[in-house]
Chains A and B, each alone.
Chain A
Amino acid sequence: MTKIQKIKIILVTCLLSFVAVPAFAAEIFFDAKTREVAIGEQFEVNIFLNTEEEYINAVEGKVIFPENLLELKEIRDGATIVNFWIERPKIKSGPEGEQVPYGASNQIAFSGIIPGGYAGEKGLIFSAIFRVKNEGEGIIEIQEAKTLLNDGKGTEASLSISNLQFLISEEIPPSLVPPTKIIDIDPPESFEPIVAQDPEIFDGKYFLVFLTQDKGSGIDYYEVCEGKRQCVVAESPYLLQNQSLDREIIVKAIDKSGNERIVTLPAQKPAIWYKNYLILAIIILVIAIAYLMWKFLWRKNRR
């Protein structure tokens, strides 16, 4: 290859790289405290959004990691910029006794919105904690990523991706910066569940919507307790079992550290007092006693 050909290739490569990464593209990138890890260690990777001065209100994508090298241990979204997850990033686990479908266990799908939009250089989408399994070099990458502008039309913003390369070796000394331990003693944020009804979902039956945040460890799960029914783990929107809405509803938000926020909704349509069987029984009893008393006194007077 002549010198001129080499220069041509370099020039073409430079031009193409300019085309591939527009000057004002939003960027999804990884940040890790270290990129060289020893076997058996835990490895924290943060996924950030840089909006490049644009307002972005929706983001989605898939984080793909080499499952022969890494095992996903935990996902943290307590400090995320995403207000509402459409698809919350989570560890894939099949129903008990079943295996996760092939190809699903090495990816973390995420999708969510930020009402009003977010503009900033380093907005955390979520963090993933991996355990290092084997020696080797690997890449954690993002695929099928999309960011949408806060313009009322859902226009796709130009986006660049920076993947994360890492090295795992036995020769690397143990890391001095293990994943940050979260000490969370605060319950999730206060919230107000809403009982709603819409002909378009759940066949027009009443459902419950709820959502809160936990700035420490992140929300783990919710529980809904309807009247005297047993509490159940639930996701919003939740189809209410008690469609007559005559009992109070308790919604518990539990964070990953086990702190609870409990919200009680009073009965939306409380039973009318005469429909309460205890009251009805007492009224009948009072009437019966009054009748017997009247009869007893009447007989006594007759004598």
Chain B
Amino acid sequence: MKSIIVTVFLILLALLSGSVYASIQEASTSLICGDGICSGSETCSTCPADCGTCPPSGGGGGGEAYIPPAPETKVIFSGRAYPKSTVTLLKDAQIAATTIAGVDANFQMSISGLSAGNYIFALYSEDKDGRRSSLLTFPVSVTAGATTNVSGIFIAPTIDVDKSEVKRGDNIAIFGQSAPQADIVISVSSEEEYFAKTISDRDGIYLHNVDTTILDYGVHYTKSKASIGNLLISSYGQVISFKVGTITVLKEIKPEISKGDLNNDNRVNLVDFSIAAYWYKRPLGEAFKIIEKERLNGDGKIDLVDFSIMAFYWTG
């Protein structure tokens, strides 16, 4: 009798530990088929996207022809960003991969497991101070079973100024980061566009002091582009503004309110798009009116213009 009771007790204990283990497993195992990781209960038959196609079953007695795996559909991106910067690749506006550029600013990244079709890929990088570059987009037509190379990418330099307002006649510093030893062209819009040239240092940092005597009173816009040996030329990057006035005001180092970031997570992505889509063609709530004013165009409604602003500041 005693042994029966002990056996029942042990069985119940085993059942209990099994249930606890199963519940822990359920909580910890990520089962996203298509995340590129063959994990958990995923197998080649349940999730070929992550685990690859199943090998042909061995035919007894031989004679079955070997079918080589279908060639991979792949796109390889290579180019220059900023030394040791994080480069993010977006596939149809959603983050597909990230990599770290080398000390020479070179990077290479690839994406595979794609279907044949037209994609819009976009790349951006962040400099050492966390300033983001503008998005660089590439419409790419992907062919099944082929590797497409997108090379010679040159991400535009980042840009900033040390003063939000500068007394006319004083200098204003325009600076940012690009690839090492790159020729930087800085454009300052005035009645006549003013151009200045400088060279980035070995960390890709550039700085140019502009004497504002040549500029009129008012708001001016500046942007920069980089080139290396006349072969690799970037487009112009972000445009930023400063004011030439009667006093000098240093630019605050506090983090700026990110345009397009509606949920304040320092990203502009599908969640922000969904929040804006919720208010599209609806009268805005009082609290959301403030957000719309700060982070979108501030006209008290959500329309195509607000989505365009979001698309410009998109991070994925």
A interface residues with partner B (beta carbon < 8 Å): 55, 57-58, 60, 78-79, 81, 83-84, 86, 111, 113-120, 123-124, 146, 148-154, 186-187, 189-192, 194, 196, 198-202, 207, 209-211, 213-216, 236-237, 248, 261-267, 270-271, 273, 276, 278-279, 282-283, 285-286, 289-290, 293, 296-297
Contact = CB atoms under 8 A, between A and B. Distances in A.
A215 B116 contact: yes
A266 B115 CA distance: 26
Contacts of B20: 273, 279
Interface string B18-37: 01100110111111111110
Given A120-B139, A192-B32, A282-B12, 7 more contacts: A78-B117, A86-B280, A116-B135, A116-B312, A148-B304, A150-B312, A270-B23
A267 B26 contact: yes
B287 to A, nearest CB: 6
Interface of B: 2, 5, 8-9, 12-13, 15-16, 19-20, 23-24, 26-36, 49, 90-94, 113-120, 122, 135-137, 139, 239, 259, 262-263, 270-271, 273-275, 277-280, 285, 287-288, 291, 297, 304-314, 316
A81 B91 CA distance: 12
A201 B271 CA distance: 11
B280 to A, nearest CB: 6
A79 B306 contact: no
Given A200-B262, A236-B274, A282-B12, A115 B311 contact: yes
Given A83-B120, A86-B280, A116-B314, A191 B13 contact: no
Contacts of B239: 151-152
Contacts of B113: 190
B34 A263 contact: yes
Given A236-B274, A286-B13, A293-B9, A115 B34 contact: no
Given A116-B136, A293-B5, A270 B27 contact: yes
Contact of B274 (A209, A248, A267): A209
A118 B312 CA distance: 11
Contacts, number: 209
Scoring A79, A86, A236, A267 by chain B CB atoms within 10 A of each residue's CB, the highest score goes to A86
Contacts of A57: 308, 311-312
Shortest beta-carbon contacts, A-B, top 10: A190-B34, A215-B117, A154-B305, A116-B135, A115-B314, A270-B27, A154-B308, A116-B137, A58-B308, A237-B274
A81 B122 contact: no
A286 B31 contact: no
B212 to A, nearest CB: 24
Nearest to A276: B23
Contacts of B263: 196, 198
Given A84-B93, A194-B271, A286-B16, A266 B304 contact: no
B287 A289 contact: no
Given A118-B137, A146-B304, A198-B275, A81 B120 contact: yes
A84 B273 contact: yes
21 contacts: A55-B137, A57-B308, A60-B304, A86-B277, A113-B308, A115-B311, A116-B137, A189-B92, A192-B94, A194-B271, A200-B262, A201-B274, A201-B275, A211-B94, A248-B31, A267-B26, A282-B15, A282-B16, A282-B19, A289-B5, A293-B5
B275 A200 contact: yes
Contacts of B90: 115-116
Nearest to A286: B12
A60 B281 CA distance: 14
A86 B32 contact: no
A191 B304 contact: no
Given A117-B311, A148-B305, A270-B26, A215 B115 contact: yes
